[in-house]
A and B are shown apart, each in its own frame.
Chain A
Amino acid sequence: MTARTAIRTCPLCEATCGLVLTMEGDRVLRTAGDEDDVFSKGFMCPKGATLGELHHDPDWHRRPLIRHRGRLVEASWDDAFELAGHLVRAVVEQSGPTAMAAYFGNPISHNLGGLLYAPVYLKALGSPRLFTASSLDQRPKDLVNALLYGDRFTLAVPDLDRTDFLVVIGANPVESNGSLATAPGWPRRLRAIRERGGRLVVVDPVRTRTAELADEHIRPRVGSDAALLASMVSVLFDEGLVRLGRLGGFVTGVERVREALADLTPERVAGFTGVPAESVRDLTRRFAAAGRACVYGRIGTTATEFGTLTSWLVDLVNILTGNLDREGGAMFPLPACGSPNTRGRPGFGPPPRLGRFASRVRGLPERFGELPTSCLAEEIDTPGDGQLRGLLLISGNPVVSAPNSERTARALASLDALVAVDPYVNDSTRFAHVVLPPPGPLQRSHYDVHFSTWAVRNVANYSPAVLDLDPRQLQEWQIMCRLAAAFEGRGATEADVDRRHAEATARAAVADAHSPVSGRTVEQLLAAVAPRVGPERLLDLMIRSGPYGDAFGGRPDGLSLATLEARPHGVDLGPLRPRLPEVLRTPTGTVALDPPLVVDDLPRLRAAVASRARDGLVLVGRRHVRSNNSWMGNVPSLMTGRPRSTLWLSPADAERLGVGTGDLVAVATRVSTVHAPVEVSERVPPGVVSLPHGWLHEPDGVRLATARARPGVNSNRLADELVLDVPSGNAVLNGIPVQVTALRPDEYEQPVNPLTLM
Chain B
Amino acid sequence: MAVTHVITQSCCNDAACTAVCPVDCIQPAPGTPGFAAAEMLYIDPATCIDCGCCVPECPVDAIRPDVDLPPSLAHFAQLNAGYFDGRRPGPVPPRSVRAPSLALDRRLRVAVVGAGPAGLYAALDLLETGGSGVAVDVYDRLPTPGGLIRYGVAPDHPSTKLAAEAFAVHARDPGLRFRFGVEVGTDVTPAELARAHDAVVYAVGAAGARSIGVPGEDLPGSLPAARFVAWYNGHPEAGDRDVDLSGTRAVVIGNGNVALDVARVLVSDPALLATTDMAGHALDALGRSRIREVLVVGRRGPLQAAFTTAELTALERVPGVDVLADREELALTPAEQRLLAADPVLRARYEVLLRLATRPPGGPARKRIRLRFLARPVRVLGSDAVTGVRLRRQEKRDVDGVVTFRPAGTTSTVGAGLVLGSVGYLTPPLPGLPYDADRGVVRNADGRVVDGSGRAVPGAYVVGWAKRGPSGVIGTNKHCAAVTAGHLRADAAAGRLTPPEEPPQWLDALLAERCDRLTDWAGWRRLDRHERAAGQAVGRPRVKVTSLPDIWRIAGRAG
Interface residues of A (CB under 8 A from B): 22, 29-33, 42-46, 48-50, 53, 174, 187-188, 191-192, 195, 209, 625-626, 636-637, 639-643, 660-664, 679, 705-706, 708-710, 745, 748-749
A46, B22: Cβ atoms closer than 8 Å: yes
B89, A30: Cβ atoms closer than 8 Å: yes
Q: CA separation between A679 and B165, bound complex, in Å? A: 11
B172, A748: Cβ atoms closer than 8 Å: yes
A45, B525: Cβ atoms closer than 8 Å: no
**Across the interface, which residues of B come within 8 angstroms of A49, CB to CB?**
22-23, 92
A636, B23: Cβ atoms closer than 8 Å: no
Q: How far is the CB of A547 from chain B (nearest CB, A)?
A: 32
A191, B23: Cβ atoms closer than 8 Å: no
Q: CA separation between A705 and B50, bound complex, in Å? A: 29
Q: How far is the CB of A521 from chain B (nearest CB, A)?
A: 49
The A contact surface, by secondary structure, is mixed
CB nearest neighbor in B for A646: B169
A-B contact pairs, 21 of them (CB 8 A): A29-B90, A30-B89, A30-B90, A30-B91, A30-B92, A44-B49, A46-B22, A49-B22, A191-B1, A625-B51, A625-B52, A625-B53, A636-B96, A637-B95, A640-B20, A641-B57, A642-B166, A642-B169, A662-B171, A679-B169, A749-B174
A705, B51: Cβ atoms closer than 8 Å: no
Q: CA separation between A378 and B222, bound complex, in Å? A: 80
A43, B49: Cβ atoms closer than 8 Å: yes
A191, B67: Cβ atoms closer than 8 Å: yes
Given contacts A31-B92, A637-B22, 8 further A-B contacts (CB under 8 A): A43-B49, A48-B22, A636-B94, A641-B53, A642-B16, A642-B57, A642-B166, A661-B168
A641, B16: Cβ atoms closer than 8 Å: yes
B97, A709: Cβ atoms closer than 8 Å: yes
CB nearest neighbor in A for B98: A709
Q: CA separation between A208 and B141, bound complex, in Å? A: 42
**Across the interface, which residues of A come within 8 angstroms of B172, CB to CB?**
662-664, 745, 748
**Across the interface, which residues of A come within 8 angstroms of B50, CB to CB?**
187-188
Q: Is B407 an interface residue (CB 8 A)?
A: no
Q: Is B402 an interface residue (CB 8 A)?
A: no
The B contact surface, by secondary structure, is loop
B22, A639: Cβ atoms closer than 8 Å: no
CB nearest neighbor in A for B95: A637
**Across the interface, which residues of B come within 8 angstroms of A187, CB to CB?**
3, 50
B169, A661: Cβ atoms closer than 8 Å: yes
Q: CA separation between A22 and B3, bound complex, in Å? A: 23
**Across the interface, which residues of B come within 8 angstroms of A679, CB to CB?**
169
**Across the interface, which residues of A come within 8 angstroms of B47, CB to CB?**
32
**Across the interface, which residues of A come within 8 angstroms of B97, CB to CB?**
636, 639-640, 706, 709-710
| Interface residues as binary, B358-376 with A (CB distance below 8 Å gives 1, 0 otherwise) | 0000000000000000000
Contact of B168 among A50, A195, A641, A662 (CB under 8 A): A662
**Across the interface, which residues of A come within 8 angstroms of B173, CB to CB?**
662
Interface residues of B in 418-472 (CB under 8 A from A): none
Interface residues of B in 1-32 (CB under 8 A from A): 1-3, 16, 19-20, 22-24
Q: How far is the CB of A689 from chain B (nearest CB, A)?
A: 17
**Across the interface, which residues of A come within 8 angstroms of B100, CB to CB?**
709
Q: CA separation between A636 and B93, bound complex, in Å? A: 12
Q: CA separation between A641 and B100, bound complex, in Å? A: 15
A640, B1: Cβ atoms closer than 8 Å: no
Q: Is B342 an interface residue (CB 8 A)?
A: no
CB nearest neighbor in B for A642: B57
Contact of A642 among B56, B89, B90, B96 (CB under 8 A): B56
**Across the interface, which residues of B come within 8 angstroms of A31, CB to CB?**
22-23, 92
**Across the interface, which residues of B come within 8 angstroms of A643, CB to CB?**
169
Q: CA separation between A187 and B56, bound complex, in Å? A: 17
Q: CA separation between A561 and B275, bound complex, in Å? A: 66
CB nearest neighbor in B for A29: B91
Q: Which of B67, B92, B170 has the largest number of chain A CB atoms within 10 A?
A: B92
B19, A640: Cβ atoms closer than 8 Å: yes
A745, B174: Cβ atoms closer than 8 Å: yes
Q: CA separation between A220 and B321, bound complex, in Å? A: 46
Q: Evaluate whether A660 and B89 lie within 8 angstroms (CB atoms) in the complex, with A626-B53, A636-B94 already known.
A: no
Q: CA separation between A191 and B173, bound complex, in Å? A: 41
CB nearest neighbor in A for B67: A191
Q: CA separation between A46 and B92, bound complex, in Å? A: 12
Q: Evaluate whether A188 and B3 lie within 8 angstroms (CB atoms) in the complex, with A45-B49, A626-B20, A662-B171 already known.
A: yes
Q: Is B537 an interface residue (CB 8 A)?
A: no
Q: CA separation between A31 and B53, bound complex, in Å? A: 16
**Across the interface, which residues of B come within 8 angstroms of A43, CB to CB?**
2, 49
CB nearest neighbor in A for B18: A640
Q: CA separation between A53 and B93, bound complex, in Å? A: 11
A641, B51: Cβ atoms closer than 8 Å: no
Q: Is B99 an interface residue (CB 8 A)?
A: yes
CB nearest neighbor in A for B132: A749
B51, A660: Cβ atoms closer than 8 Å: no
**Across the interface, which residues of B come within 8 angstroms of A22, CB to CB?**
91
Q: How far is the CB of B330 from chain A (nearest CB, A)?
A: 41
Q: CA separation between A664 and B1, bound complex, in Å? A: 41
Q: CA separation between A143 and B17, bound complex, in Å? A: 43
A660, B525: Cβ atoms closer than 8 Å: yes
Q: CA separation between A711 and B20, bound complex, in Å? A: 17
Q: Which of A187, A625, A637 has the largest number of chain B CB atoms within 10 A?
A: A637
Q: CA separation between A174 and B55, bound complex, in Å? A: 14
| Interface residues as binary, B49-79 with A (CB distance below 8 Å gives 1, 0 otherwise) | 1111100110000000001000000000000
CB nearest neighbor in B for A635: B95
Interface residues of B in 525-545 (CB under 8 A from A): 525
A662, B169: Cβ atoms closer than 8 Å: yes
**Across the interface, which residues of A come within 8 angstroms of B94, CB to CB?**
53, 636-637
Contact of A32 among B19, B23, B170 (CB under 8 A): B23
Q: How far is the CB of B175 from chain A (nearest CB, A)?
A: 9
Interface residues of B in 510-558 (CB under 8 A from A): 525
B171, A641: Cβ atoms closer than 8 Å: no
Contact of B95 among A33, A636, A664 (CB under 8 A): A636
**Across the interface, which residues of B come within 8 angstroms of A44, CB to CB?**
49
Interface residues of B in 163-207 (CB under 8 A from A): 165-166, 168-174
A748, B170: Cβ atoms closer than 8 Å: no
Q: Which of A30, A195, A664 has the largest number of chain B CB atoms within 10 A?
A: A30
A195, B171: Cβ atoms closer than 8 Å: no
Q: CA separation between A625 and B49, bound complex, in Å? A: 12
Q: CA separation between A33 and B48, bound complex, in Å? A: 10
Q: How far is the CB of A191 from chain B (nearest CB, A)?
A: 6
A705, B99: Cβ atoms closer than 8 Å: yes
CB nearest neighbor in A for B56: A642
Q: How far is the CB of A6 from chain B (nearest CB, A)?
A: 15
Q: How far is the CB of B68 from chain A (nearest CB, A)?
A: 9
Contact of A195 among B1, B16, B53 (CB under 8 A): B1
**Across the interface, which residues of A come within 8 angstroms of B96, CB to CB?**
636, 640
**Across the interface, which residues of B come within 8 angstroms of A188, CB to CB?**
1-3, 50
| Interface residues as binary, B92-116 with A (CB distance below 8 Å gives 1, 0 otherwise) | 1011111110000000000000000
Q: CA separation between A601 and B57, bound complex, in Å? A: 44
Contact of A662 among B57, B99, B170 (CB under 8 A): B170
Q: How far is the CB of A182 from chain B (nearest CB, A)?
A: 19
Q: How far is the CB of B525 from chain A (nearest CB, A)?
A: 7
Q: CA separation between A412 and B91, bound complex, in Å? A: 43
Q: CA separation between A188 and B56, bound complex, in Å? A: 20
CB nearest neighbor in B for A641: B20
Q: CA separation between A643 and B20, bound complex, in Å? A: 12
CB nearest neighbor in A for B92: A30
Q: CA separation between A229 and B24, bound complex, in Å? A: 43
Q: CA separation between A467 and B23, bound complex, in Å? A: 22
Q: CA separation between A31 and B89, bound complex, in Å? A: 11
A641, B19: Cβ atoms closer than 8 Å: yes
Q: How far is the CB of A626 from chain B (nearest CB, A)?
A: 6
**Across the interface, which residues of B come within 8 angstroms of A625, CB to CB?**
51-53
**Across the interface, which residues of B come within 8 angstroms of A663, CB to CB?**
172
A50, B22: Cβ atoms closer than 8 Å: yes
B57, A192: Cβ atoms closer than 8 Å: no
Q: Evaluate whether A46 and B53 lie within 8 angstroms (CB atoms) in the complex, with A637-B22, A660-B168, A709-B98 already known.
A: yes
